[in-house]
Amino acid sequence: MFDYEKYLRLEMFPHIWCPGCGDGIVMKSLLRAIDRVGLQKDEICMVSGIGCSSRLTGYVDFNTLHTTHGRPLAFATGVKLAKPSLNVIVITGDGDALAIGGNHFIHACRRNIDLTVLLFNNATYGMTGGQLAPTTPTGKVASTARQGSIDPPFDACKLAIAAGATYVARGTSYHSQQLDRLIEGGIKHKGFALIEILENCNTYYGRPNKVSLLELLQWEKDNTVNVKAAERMTPEQLQGKIITGVLHQADRPEYVAMYEEHIARAQAKARAAA
């Protein structure tokens, strides 16, 4: 039996998440992945923005920063540059990372800075009442789109790959064992790692769209295909399916290492000129 309690701040419980929310499933997966990598608690700094998922940093017993809306990647970049030995893990939601923090997201990918980002994608702004998010599927109802959204949703993984991220994976809260492996791979990767997690907000996404918690989890099961299985499927079979697994992995110079080399060169130049 996995000992979750050794990684939790039990004095912060009960948590604020609604019963059945995907955030708890993902938190448990993250703790198992950290345990598999074998990191000590003080070797980790976890940084979150604002939103239901970002409350996670209050419940876990690592170095943690609960920051401002859309800015966890900016804070995390500062932490990583100041203390490169830390494993910096960013907890962010779809609104936090792709709307308010959209530019930070693009540029963190571009720099290939060694951060592991867990993007909790529940297709809505849960904490603030179910407003339309950048990932809300077209046609779905939100508190700011009563007739259904007319916007096309972002594909966060394609965006990250195009912007330069070097580890890009997608999992779901339904496939929790696969998610353990994807997060483990992201933590071990040297460079910018994104793990997008399709997960359920049964309260502010489920209720207005008249889908239950079980139907939301069933949707994750029925509408996703692992990248390996997808290789054996025809375009017709893949129609409407969302691919999960490691979608992209590349080897490219990492930002902190380049920055340290840059400083060393500047110092050598200054010494030579003195």
Write out the residues near ligand SF4 by the rule CB under 6 A: 17-18, 21, 23, 52, 122, 126-127, 201-204
CB of residue 122 vs ligand SF4: minimum separation in angstroms?
5
Contact 91, 38 (CB under 8 A): no
Q: How far is the CB of 205 from ligand SF4 (least distance, A)?
A: 7
Smallest gap from residue 23 Cβ to ligand SF4 (A): 5
How far is residue 166 from each of residues 5, 156, 158, 163, measured CA to CA in Å?
Answer: 33, 14, 12, 10
Which residue, 17 or 192, is less far from ligand SF4 as judged by CB? Answer: 17
Question: Any idea what DSSP says for residue 154?
Answer: P
SS3 call for 191:
coil
133 and 124 Cβ atoms separated by less than 8 Å: yes
Query: What tokens does 234 get?
Result: 């025809």
Whether the ω angle into residue 84 lies within 30 degrees of 0, i.e. cis, is: no
Distance in Å, CB of 3 to ligand SF4, minimum: 25
Task: Please report where in the chains the tokens 């990932």 appear, as a residue.
Answer: 135
Give the residue with the Cβ less far from ligand SF4, 52 or 109: 52
Q: What is the DSSP string of 213-234?
A: HHHHHHHHHHTEEEHHHHTTS-
Q: How far is the CB of 118 from ligand SF4 (least distance, A)?
A: 14
Nearer to ligand SF4, 127 or 225 (CB): 127
Nearer to ligand SF4, 79 or 123 (CB): 123
Q: Given the complex with ligand SF4, which of 163 and 201 has the nearer CB atom?
A: 201
Cα 45 to Cα 114: distance, rounded to the nearest angstrom:
12
